[in-house]
Structure 1
Amino acid sequence: MNWRSIWAIYQFEMARTFRTIAQSVLSPVISTVLYFVVFGSAIGSRIDAVDGISYGAFIVPGLIMLTLLQQSVSNASFGIYFPKFIGTMYELLSAPMSFIEIVMGYVGAAATKAVMIALIILATSALFVDLRIEHPFWMLAFLLLTALSFSLLGFIIGIWAKSFEQLQLIPLLVITPLVFLGGAFYSASMLPPFWEVVTKFNPVLYLVSGFRWSFFGVADVPVGISLFAVTGFLLLCLGFIWWIFRTGWRLRE
């Protein structure tokens, strides 16, 4: 394992974050604070407790998950797309590195940035609502597994994209709607029976549900299924990336 090469990629990607800290860190944190103000204060004051939890506290895991997914995908996709855009991808492919080492560098940096922002938002949320974390170990486990799996998805999107427009297509038109419809701001049990069943076909529901369980001990689906879903998605993305490097799909175009 070429740890020096992994560290070089990781350092480069992290340095890019701190060079653009206003865009990379402050912007998503401010956006989430606005969600707290609108949903937690303005709307939450008119909504009864959900499963015995105040609405302001109930939406915290969903807001963190929304930001985590968006940041994981966007950071990883831009990180690998940029070498394609400026033409340094061939130097990367010709270096004495395996695909695992390349992925570890880019995905590790993207996941680190996403988790860092998620933890800042978690700390910020304590200024607005009273929070409790019943299962801190599982909270961190879901946080890390989700960040890694969606950073892998972002890596795939970055390889697939042929323009900056395509780079933003899936995060804006797929990821964000799935999070909003995946129980980020409500419990699936609040829906009519038919729509509750439909919602359970949304894969993001299992991520939000498991993450919320780690906070409050309540979930829309069994936590074991949530853990299985995020782990399975991570392995699926790893398998697809292995196929990309094995075949050279979109890498040598």
Structure 2
Amino acid sequence: MNVHAVRAIYGFEMARTLRTVTQSIVSPVLSTSLYFVVFGAALGSRIQSVDGVSYGAFIVPGLVMLSLLTQSIANASFGIYFPRFTGTIYEILSAPISAFEIVAGYVGAAATKSIVLGLIIIATSALFVPLHVEHPLWMLVALVLTSVTFSAFGFVIGIWADGFEKLQLVPLLIVTPLTFLGGSFYSIDSLPSPWREVAYLNPVVYLVNGFRWSFLGHADVPPEVSFGMTLAILALCAGLIAWIFRTGYRLKT
């Protein structure tokens, strides 16, 4: 494995984050804090508890997951799209570095940014609500696994997009609505039939509930199903990336 090449790509992407720390870190944290203020003030006073915990503590995993999914996709998609836009992608493709090492550098950097952002948001949420993590180790596993999975998904989007507007198309029109409808702010079990059954067709439901289980110790979906769904999405993204490099889809044209 060409460690120096992976480190060079990883270091370049992390340096770009440090140059845009306001956009990459501060802005998502402030946006999430506003969610706490709005939902905590508007709904928290009317909803005393959900599944035995305060409403503010209940929505913490959903808010973290909302930021995690959108930022992972945004970081990874822009990271690989910009070299395609400027033409420097050909220098990377002609270098003595494998497809796996290219993906490891870009996806690893995007996932690292998302993990740091997630930890900052969790620490910030403790300022607004009493926070307790029932399974801290599994919380970290879910955080890392989700960040890597959706950074890989963002890498696919960055290859697929042929314009800057398409980079925001999937996160804004698909991922964000699915996250809001995926039980981020409510329990799926509280929905009436048939909407409850329809909600379980949403893959984000499993991601949110897996993360929520690590905080609360219980969720609408068993944790093994949630982690299995995350691994399935990761496997799908890995298959798409392998196909992209094998066929040269939008990399060589």
Q: Give the corresponding residue for 1:233.
A: 233
After TM superposition, give the deviation of residue 252 of structure 1 in Å: 1.0
Give CA-to-partner distance per residue, 1:117-166, whole Å, 9 cap, x none.
11000000000000111101110111111000000000000000000011
After TM superposition, give the deviation of residue 232 of structure 1 in Å: 1.1
Q: TM-score, normalised by structure 1?
A: 0.99
Correspondence list, 1:94-113, <5 A: 94-113=94-113
After TM superposition, give the deviation of residue 40 of structure 1 in Å: 1.6
The one-letter code matched in structure 2 to 1:16 is R
Query: Which sections of structure 2, spanning at least 5 residues, go unmatched?
Result: none
Correspondence list, 1:151-170, <5 A: 151-170=151-170
Quick check: 1:250 aligned with 2:243?
no
Q: Give the corresponding residue for 1:16.
A: 16
Quick check: 1:65 aligned with 2:54?
no
Q: Give the corresponding residue for 1:86.
A: 86
Q: Give the corresponding residue for 2:54.
A: 54
After TM superposition, give the deviation of residue 48 of structure 1 in Å: 2.6
SS in 2 for 1:44: coil
Q: Give the corresponding residue for 2:76.
A: 76
SS in 2 for 1:127: coil
Q: Give the corresponding residue for 1:125.
A: 125
Give CA-to-partner distance per residue, 1:174-216, whole Å, 9 cap, x none.
0000000000000001100211100000000000001000000
Q: TM-score, normalised by structure 2?
A: 0.99
Q: Give the corresponding residue for 2:182.
A: 182
After TM superposition, give the deviation of residue 46 of structure 1 in Å: 1.0
> Are the counterparts in 2 of residues 41 and 56 from structure 1 also a CA contact under 8 Å?
no
Q: Quick one: distance in 2 between partners of 1:137 and 1:70?
A: 23
Q: Give the corresponding residue for 2:3.
A: 3
**Structure 1 segments of 4+ aligned residues over 3 angstroms from their partners:** none
After TM superposition, give the deviation of residue 41 of structure 1 in Å: 2.5
> Are the counterparts in 2 of residues 40 and 59 from structure 1 also a CA contact under 8 Å?
no
Query: Which sections of structure 1, spanning at least 5 residues, go unmatched?
Result: none
Q: Quick one: distance in 1 between partners of 2:48 and 2:198?
A: 25
